Amino acid sequence: MVNIHYGVEVPKGASGDAFLNWIGGYFEAWWSVNPHWTADYKNLPAHPISKGVAPFAINDEWYYHMRFQPEMKNVQPILTAIPPKETLSRPDGAHSGNPDVRKTVGQPQHMAWAYERPNGGRGFGFTGGHYHWNWGHNDFRKLVLNAIAWSAKIDVPSQGVASKPVTIQQLEANQDYPKSNKYNPARIKALLAEWNQ
């Protein structure tokens, strides 16, 4: 089971307990937060999901302070970074801040993780994915492709799951909403060129 971005949020209680059992963690309102910030993933663990993925930094709506299995049992963090204090500058709210998360300022937080269920099943949680353009980043995309393969018990190649660089035309295709007046294709093309070097 692979859950991406808003797909990791469920209500506390029966739904949250199910997610703990299925993917090892979830976004819990009034506990977890959803700020936009640039996470710098300097170190990746030795795990099939990180094969062929270079450390990267990217701006997204990275949820953190997730609710995980007690003592992280069978949970392997995949993307970990230290959120800047500014990510907690919003007032307290169901998604924006709370006294518990404010106690963790300066501590590493996990934004993606792998989970192996006692019955042999596998799950993956990934809190990024808000910005559609980020799928044009080769390492961002490869990490999720690797996770899908790993969760399905497919052997991940030594250099990770291969995919061709994504073009701006592909990213623009099949959008559900009209382009914003803030849309800047030149900026997106520059990002893709930088990411696909």
Residue 20: C-alpha distances to residues 75, 186, 187, 197 (Å): 10, 42, 39, 38
Mean pLDDT value across residues 25-45: 98
- The pLDDT tens digits of the residues spanning 6-25 come to 999 999 999 999 999 999 99
- The pLDDT tens digits of the residues spanning 135-159 come to 999 999 999 999 999 999 999 999 9
What confidence tier does 182 reach under pLDDT thresholds 50, 70, 90?
confident
pTM equals: 0.95
- Two structure tokens written together for 150: 């790993």
* pLDDT value at 104 more than 90: yes
Model pLDDT, residue 80: 98
Average pLDDT of the chain is 96
Model pLDDT, residue 196: 81
| DSSP, res 190 | H
What confidence tier does 61 reach under pLDDT thresholds 50, 70, 90?
very high
φ and ψ at 93, to 5 degrees?
A: -175, 175
Indicate the domain borders of the chain: 2-165
First to last CA, the chain: 32
* pLDDT value at 85 more than 80: yes
Pair 109, 67: CB distance under 8 Å: no
| DSSP, res 9 | B
* pLDDT value at 197 more than 80: no
Model pLDDT, residue 183: 85
Residue entry with tokens 């696909």: 196
